[in-house]
Structure 1
Amino acid sequence: MDTYSLLRQIADSWVLLVMFLFFLGVIVWVLRPGSSKLHEDIANIPLRNDSPRE
């Protein structure tokens, strides 16, 4: 089976719907109300300076 046929079968099956629902679930998980503090903390990691440079 060539690559095109394999990808076409995946697109024609329920797998595409499952992957799309998983993608939406990830987006909802990231944008949930309680996660803003966590994302803000992670975003500030490069700005932390735990040890002074010499």
Structure 2
Amino acid sequence: ISNTTISRPPPADAHPLAQEAGGLSGKPLFDLSTQVLRDMYIRTGGKVTLIGCGGVTR
């Protein structure tokens, strides 16, 4: 469904490197990616196995 985002949700938007180009992944996207999975579950009526994983956090 998704991999990374170019958006910078809080608190990532306040990071000194937030204006750099490229996709963001990991912990800052947890809420956003969970919502995307929730929406897809509803759209598929729960008939498709959805797996949420990954992201690099330090």
TM normalised by structure 1 equals 0.35
* Greater RCO, 1 or 2 (C-alpha within 8 Å, sep 6+): 2
Find the structure with the greater CA-based Rg: 1
TM normalised by structure 2 equals 0.33
Tell me which protein shows more helix as a share of its residues.
1
